[in-house]
Amino acid sequence: MSKSANVVLHKAAVTRPRRETLNGHRSVNLWFTGLSGSGKSTLAHAVEERLHLMGCRTYVFDGDNVRHGLCGDLDFSIAGRSENMRRIAEMVKLFVDGGVLSLTAFISPLQKDRQKVRDIIGAEFVIEVYCNCSLEICEQRDVKGLYKKARAGEIKNYTGISSPYEPPENPDIELDTGNTPLLDCVNRIVDELRRRGIILN
């Protein structure tokens, strides 16, 4: 995508490290990926709740919510999904610069798009969390009834049914969200944030 002409990037005096010092924690992005129904949003919000109670500055970007506004003009084609992720990555980059621990819950089915996310945000600021849940369990959950519609041909380009999902080859964190209790998943992520020195308490 072309850059805007005659626009110069302004360097602020208040930098990310200064914001991190004020917050008392580093800023990174937790990028949750997995099939619809794998527990991405549930887990992201549960992790945010834990971090918020610990005094961290956080924000969750949920796939459905973003589709209501910023990406409301995009379809669910491969091209539409790719542009959706590009926009999210650019926004998350700003939040990371703002010192915020951001959590993004998106199916993000293709490896090339997830790599683009890392390129935009900066690989050192992205922790990829793979919510590994079988299609069978995701369909059993199907809280929105979307798999049923996809199976009936009422929804086109539905990931896992009529559109591909490429599992991450080397995720930073892989969780069996089909069988592991939510609290255990939250603890695993918070422990990893501590291990990396992102949060100190």
Residues labelled as active-site residues = 108
Residue 1 DSSP symbol: -
Closest CA to 177 of 38, 68, 45: 38
What is the rounded CA–CA span in Å between residue 149 and residue 156? 9
Cβ-in-10-Å burial (0-12, 13-18, 19+) of 188 comes to: middle
Residue 188 DSSP symbol: H
Closest CA to 39 of 145, 177, 180: 177
Contact 112, 134 (CB under 8 A): no
